[in-house]
Chain A
């Protein structure tokens, strides 16, 4: 039985009945990954021995859990006790996690088989996974193209069939953009829905862990597993409405879906535009009411984000000084040891963002940049509040264009523009999902983004499920 194209439901049915052992799944998965990794390179680190041992342990256990025996990958910025966690950076090379992130622990509790750690842009800063300090990941659909980023490895691994599902983290689109580029489902939950404990912080007010999967139902199951209150994350919310699967198959007749009119102000690739229109009419056919709404501050979300995220990053990344973990380059005194370690350990994009953040937070500029951006962020939140008075969900393309070629974009601002439709969602703390919706002329996947109300993931997934069925991925 070949498991690489099966869904979570199909796999767990087999494993729970004992028709396929988890060891068999582990072996198949590792073998297939070996074959695929020559071209894709999704993984930074796979400990084969551990995977096989974990599989044996699962086989010897009571066969239960929502993910029993399901091969899952995690982004390399999530701690898993006893394994190397690098966040795609040289500065963390050799760092062995002393504990496990809550989201990962929850996967394990439900019987998931953790296969390995996936490649990413260094500290999740990037939209193409080209900023990994180790190597580039290739888009499984066309290896000359980027898989998107920063969770490019997690998206590519799922698309290539290396794993059934994976976890990524999304600060400005780092789950949804690679999901769109690789043609898989990628979901960013409401801020606070999933614990960030054990996730290496980039921008703490924006970061959120979420799933990649090949279908909406699998993504819903994954979210159900990882969501929930965690006292170890002070921004974690105390809610118990974490059933994301019961409503999936309910019809969406009468749902109000808003199209953000400002989206059309941006330069959309022809096929993306067509797909957007096609998706809207498909939803209409399902009985949804389509209305136009406005997010007047949409275009300001990019500059606001590129002040807020680097500001938070400059503070978060100050902990990497060579003293407690990772790279250490000693010099004659402590100050110079810090400087040498950080200068050698961080890549160019990370340094660029640390410097932007340091500038935006510095005396004399704080009000004009950081505080101003935080006020604009409030206005963006209010725009969404207003839009959601009229509609249940919003629809936009996930990205304006399909995956670009490796090496094609070298200007940082041009790279940042990739996230124009995903960034506002993080600024407002909303949940959103990217669903595949056809391909362009070159066969590269197009993704559509549905944005839900705060904590309405259940409804969001319901609409995504209907949309997936209608437009057929």
Chain B
């Protein structure tokens, strides 16, 4: 692994660490690798001696996690265990109000994806058409370009929306967990 690969990998593994601290951590390793090279190691050796980014991230994570744990303990010492009433309440609320729309929107997304896919494969039909019928080649070309571009844009937009939808669901799920755990 090269220095840059190592740093990139570590950076990726530490996404949840605040930017400032993450940069600080990475600069420690960068300086270390540079010093090791100055002292006669190859880049490859210097990186290998550090161990895997995963091991390092795990090691750092332990401290992050325990910091959080000791912090949250202070806040919620009066709260013992998850709240069963909150859980049942949320369950009922979700069954009545949330499940329906979520299933509906998910269905809509499946439809949108199908439509985008259909647009994307339409050019195939035009190409076949070109061979079987006497379609003017310029017309066929523009039709192919148009349907394909449209399908591609359609796919991008759907992807974008789907991402937000997933984020929303994720956020809502975390909210549920928080409520049940009683930290709200």
The finding on whether chains A and B are genuine partners in a shared complex, rather than unrelated, reads no
User: Which residue numbers of B lie inside 8 Å of A, CB to CB?
Assistant: none
A residues with CB within 8 A of B: none
